Amino acid sequence: MQKGSKKEKIKEVVVYTAESSAIAEMLIEKLENLGVPARLGSETATAGVFGVPEGSRTILVPEKYAKLAKEILEIK
């Protein structure tokens, strides 16, 4: 381990909930191709609750990329 290096915790935010994991994966690939780090999240605890259909998947990005990700995904 290098001196003075600390692993910084990066806060992630949900920028989109897709109808299926396949759609979410395509959108993540689009974001990553445009330089926005993204990953697939799963909100299993809320599946079927609050109008979130089962099988839906969330897209998470580091907080500092949230605005850009929403612009890329055209979320208003």
Give the pLDDT score at 50.
52
Position 24 pLDDT exceeds 80:
yes
In Å, how far are 4, 5, 6, 13, 29 from 57, measured between CA atoms? 37, 34, 31, 13, 14
For residue 60, the cross-strand partners are 14, 39
12-72 CATH, one of 3.30.160, 3.30.70, 2.40.10, 1.10.3470: 3.30.70
Q: How far apart are CA 9 and CA 26, in angstroms?
A: 26
Global pTM reads: 0.71
For residue range 35-72, what is the model confidence (pLDDT) as tens digits? Answer: 999 999 865 555 555 555 555 689 999 999 999 999 99
Q: Specify the 3-state DSSP secondary structure of 18.
A: strand
Where do the domains of the chain lie? 12-72
